[in-house]
């Protein structure tokens, strides 16, 4: 079956613009996670969904970041008024409840 997919694979934007990143989890997976990773760094947890609700938003760096999940499936991560420090790879993962996570290929965001 299909794995986790993310789009776009690469996004270059200008400082101050809004961007929207999409994640399609594995069908039937209840949990969905967003992380970001800067070059050479570890994973930084952003937000976690169980179904459509987000029990843990503790990792969102600022109020410019928001995420939603609809229909227990697709999720979008929105970054408003992007800054250069937002440049990173944004990774999405899904799992069946709290079991093993499967990652998508990521979206590489570059803010000029």
Partner 1 sequence: RKEVEQDPGPFNVPEGATVAFNCTYSNSASQSFFWYRQDCRKEPKLLMSVYSSGNEDGRFTAQLNRASQYISLLIRDSKLSDSATYLCVVLGWSDKIIFGKGTRLHILP
Q: Rounded to the nearest whole angstrom, what is the least distance from the CB of residue 101 to partner 1 in the complex?
A: 7
Cα 89 from Cα 71, distance rounded (Å): 25
Closer Cβ to partner 1, 13 or 45, answer by number: 45
Closer CB to partner 1, 72 or 105, in the complex = 105
Q: Please report, as ranges, the residues that interact with partner 1 according to CB under 8 A.
A: 33, 35, 41-43, 45, 48, 55-56, 91, 98-106
CA-based angle 71:31:46, to the nearest 5? 105
Nearest distance in Å: CB 97, partner 1: 9
Q: How far is the CB of 76 from partner 1 (least distance, A)?
A: 19
CA–CA gap between residue 78 and residue 66 (Å, rounded): 5
Question: Cα angle vertex 86, ends 78, 75, to 5°?
Answer: 25
């Amino acid at each position: 079956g299909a794995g986790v997919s993310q789009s776009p694979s690469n996004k270059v934007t200008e400082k101050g613009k809004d961007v929207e990143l999409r994640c399609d989890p594995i069908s039937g997976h209840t949990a969905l996670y967003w992380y970001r990773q800067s070059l050479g760094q570890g994973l930084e947890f952003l937000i976690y969904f169980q179904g459509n609700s987000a029990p843990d938003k503790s990792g969102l760096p600022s109020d410019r970041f928001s995420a939603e999940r609809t229909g227990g499936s697709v999720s979008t991560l929105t970054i408003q008024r992007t800054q250069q420090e937002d440049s990173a790879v944004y990774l999405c993962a899904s799992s069946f409840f709290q079991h093993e996570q499967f990652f998508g290929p990521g979206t590489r965001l570059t803010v000029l």
